[in-house]
A and B are shown apart, each in its own frame.
Chain A
């Protein structure tokens, strides 16, 4: 016997709420909470990154931003072939964006742990970075 739509609607809503709540618990439990950023298997603090890299100012569609040059950071991190690598920038909440060298070399890492690029939408400006994976 089939259930009427009247009965299916609350069940579907309940399933959706279970999915949403479970996802929140999962995201909270798996969130990475650390003060350093991993690049090429090595952990760097923001202070260390600013110490070893050059400062750079870029113009974004949200105004002028200053921070550590990502181009310089990649070089100092010892990436063997920067132009033939891709870079996945990962946030502590699981958000990540992968960019190629053409985008990566234009960017900066700001003191608040967020990357900015001059010619990309805001979705590429990953916040609370915990890792830059070189592929």
Chain B
């Protein structure tokens, strides 16, 4: 595939993920809903899996995580921006590791049981990985000390909290495969303006809000 097409794909998917994390994530948090569960189990997984299915390009999801994490740094709302940004980048990297051995034609994922299973494995692992990274980085970034015992004591809770995202991921993967079957194609003369416009809109909205709130 044309490298510019892949770069444009990385930017648009990454921008949309970062945009969702900031606006939808903050709204869910304000409503008292489990933000991490919904953002990882639904948004992150859908974006990572759909981009993998359409572009079939290993390494691309790491780039998407880097773009999303980069945008997340400009979150105008409260929170540890650097920790969340690094956690998102780590989620992209963990996804790459899990999907490294999945062949480009997804032959291992032909049946629904395997689609559900890889959804569970992927979502659980990226949720747990992101959570642990945030727990480690937050005290360090805040200028305090990271205490390993604080993390070890809380590990059963972290492992327990991954259950709902895992179930969500297991439900979403087969749906993503159904969407893939629809075989939506965008013509080249529309692809670049569309991806560029969506990316610019995402970044402008976040920068605009960031400028107002800072």
A94 touches B120 (CB 8 A): no
- CB-based contact B78/A13 at 8 Å: no
Residues of chain B lying within 8 A (CB to CB) of residue A9: 108-109, 114, 117-118, 121
B108 & A20 in contact (Cβ 8 Å cutoff): no
Candidates B78, B83, B134, B154; contact of A94 at CB < 8 Å: B154
A-side contacts of B130, CB under 8 Å: none
Given contacts A17-B166, A96-B153, contact A27 B160 (CB under 8 A): yes
Residues 58-109 of B contacting A (Cβ, < 8 Å): 78-80, 83, 101-102, 108-109
**A contact residues around B124 at 8 Å (CB):** 16, 20
Contact of B159 among A23, A97, A98, A99 (CB under 8 A): A23
* Contact A123-B150, Cβ < 8 Å, known A9-B117, A94-B157: no
Residues of B within 8 A of A6 (CB): 108, 111, 114
Q: B residues within 8 A CB of A20?
A: 124, 159-160, 162-163, 166
Are A23 and B121 CB-contacts (below 8 A) given A13-B170, A62-B78, A98-B147? no
Interface 1/0 per residue, A12-33 and B, CB below 8 Å: 1110110111011011001000
Q: Which of B79, B117, B163 contacts A121 (CB 8 A)?
A: B79
**Minimum CB distance partner of B81 in chain A:** A121
> Interface size (A, Cβ < 8 Å)?
35
- B166's contact among A16, A61, A97, A121, by CB below 8 Å, is which? A16
Contact across chains for B157 and A13 when beta carbons are under 8 A apart = no
Contacts of A93 in B (CB 8 A): 157
B142 with A120: CB separation less than 8 A: yes
Residues of B within 8 A of A95 (CB): 154, 157
- B187 CB, nearest partner CB in chain A, Å: 35
Residue A10 at the B interface, CB < 8 A?
yes
Q: A9-B121, A23-B157 are in contact. Are A123 and B135 (CB under 8 A)?
A: yes
Contact call B79/A13, Cβ cutoff below 8 A: no
Tell me the residues in window 116-147 of chain B with beta carbons closer than 8 Å to chain A beta carbons.
116-118, 120-121, 124-125, 134-135, 138-139, 141-142, 144-145, 147
**Contact for A100 among B101, B138, B144, CB less than 8 A:** B144
A46 at the interface (CB under 8 A from B): no
Return the contact of B156 from the options A26, A98, A103, A124 (Cβ within 8 A): A26
Q: Contacts of A24 on B, CB cut-off 8 Å?
A: 160, 163
CB A123 to nearest CB in B, in angstroms, measures: 5
| Interface residue ranges of A77-121 to B (CB < 8 Å) | 88, 93-100, 103, 120-121
Does A5 belong to the interface (CB within 8 Å)?
yes
Which residues does A use to contact B, with CB under 8 Å?
4-6, 9-10, 12-14, 16-17, 19-21, 23-24, 26-27, 30, 61-62, 88, 93-100, 103, 120-124
Top 7 closest A-B pairs, CB basis?
Answer: A13-B117, A23-B160, A23-B159, A20-B163, A121-B80, A13-B120, A24-B160
The contact sample of 5 A-B pairs, CB cut-off 8 A, is A9-B114, A17-B163, A20-B160, A96-B153, A121-B141
